[in-house]
Chain A
């Protein structure tokens, strides 16, 4: 199984763990992730104003690169996934955006949303299968009580993201089961961590994060997993109340597959 892969800026810098452990796990699972050439930053946020075109072009370039290879496009970071998936939806369904973006791009063949965008978690669920992962686990994380922190961007708006049930998701809990640990469902797992507001509003972010980690702790979770570098940062930086380590889901996957220590850096 070979896929085009879009890592994104933060996975090359502050969130290297999210990327490195995913690549090691992918090899162990027989998945080939081909990083697309000359990808550009997705912009971090999807531009909601429908007249924004320039800020969507980096996504279109990545989508078209995957199309030219005839591959699905795999994303790892929640924010990149959100942006690229929604731009792809525009390119397939909004004729004005499709026309204007293609006017800029001047491709040999116009891009019309042909590429499938799949998050690595969806790849694990739908292409590999959690049952298969279970079979390949050599170091099950038995006894560890882990809460899934979904946040916003993977789930909402569900009409476009089509990732999971936005109010009662289960994909990350299924993932936690597959690696041998015990999933802990807690009420605030799909609440916002504060996102970019943490830059200027520390107190607000602390309030929001405290509610989330107290909700997880109250349900007996001992740690959390996430797919988003900004969620991880906010949850770590703004929590002074509860002992609640936060991991990228890929780190625990690599650990369970016995490939965590394989190559350092």
Chain B
């Protein structure tokens, strides 16, 4: 499973020197159970089960602050989105349903928001 994550994300977690700059930059830090720098360690330790069930994959905003600021170009955000993809690609494991969305609409809501949310949270 570790190989699969590495291949799909294109991330080499061995480059990480654990400086924590990604987590320090993350706007979702407080809401994440597994912080961005820990995410990299979990992949190294091949503890994918914890990542697949983590709250972090729902909270990542893909703002690319972690990717931008990483001094080793590890791209923690790419790892998080890859694990999110591995979850939502399974049938019935979507993190957002069309039924749910109809309750959340408001007249000003831009199409861009719906497209983005659907792309991140379901297949």
Within 8 Å CB of A155, what residues of B? 68
Given A157-B67, A192-B65, A200:B104 Cβ within 8 A: yes
Within 8 Å CB of A228, what residues of B? 112
Q: Complex: how many Å from CA A195 to CA B114?
A: 11
Nearest chain B CB to A52 CB, angstrom units = 7
- Chain A, interface size category, equals 35 or more
Q: Which residues of B71-118 are within 8 A (CB) of A?
A: 77-78, 81-82, 85, 96, 101, 104, 106, 108-117
Select the residue from B82, B111, B112 with max chain A CB neighbours within 10 A. Answer: B112
Within 8 Å CB of A191, what residues of B? 27
Nearest chain A CB to B67 CB, angstrom units = 5
Bitwise, A174-206 to B at CB < 8 A (1) or not (0) is 000000000000000001101111111000100
* Complex contact B8–A51 (CB within 8 A): yes
Give the nearest-CB partner of A234 in chain B: B113
* Complex contact B112–A157 (CB within 8 A): no
Q: Which residues of B8-48 are within 8 A (CB) of A?
A: 8-10, 27, 31
* Complex contact A44–B109 (CB within 8 A): no
Kindly identify which residue among A10, A48, A49 contacts B110, using a CB–CB cutoff of 8 Å: A10
Kindly identify which residue among B68, B77, B109, B116 contacts A166, using a CB–CB cutoff of 8 Å: B68
Nearest chain A CB to B32 CB, angstrom units = 12
Give the nearest-CB partner of A152 in chain B: B63
Nearest chain B CB to A20 CB, angstrom units = 15
Give the nearest-CB partner of A205 in chain B: B61
* Complex contact B61–A195 (CB within 8 A): yes
Q: Complex: how many Å from CA A198 to CA B106?
A: 12
* Complex contact B116–A79 (CB within 8 A): yes
* Complex contact A77–B112 (CB within 8 A): yes
Nearest chain A CB to B18 CB, angstrom units = 21
Q: Complex: how many Å from CA A166 to CA B64?
A: 11
Give the nearest-CB partner of A49 in chain B: B85
* Complex contact A196–B117 (CB within 8 A): yes
Q: Tell me if A158 counts as interface (CB < 8 A to partner B).
A: yes
Within 8 Å CB of A39, what residues of B? none
* Complex contact B111–A9 (CB within 8 A): yes
* Complex contact B110–A43 (CB within 8 A): no
Nearest chain B CB to A62 CB, angstrom units = 15
Give the nearest-CB partner of A47 in chain B: B119
* Complex contact B63–A195 (CB within 8 A): yes
* Complex contact B61–A192 (CB within 8 A): yes
Given A157-B67, A233-B108, A197:B115 Cβ within 8 A: no
User: Interface of A with B (CB < 8 Å)?
Assistant: 8-10, 13-15, 41, 43-45, 47-52, 55, 77, 79, 152, 155-158, 166-167, 191-192, 194-200, 204, 208, 228-230, 232-233, 236-237
User: Interface of B with A (CB < 8 Å)?
Assistant: 7-10, 27, 31, 59, 61-65, 67-68, 77-78, 81-82, 85, 96, 101, 104, 106, 108-117, 119-120
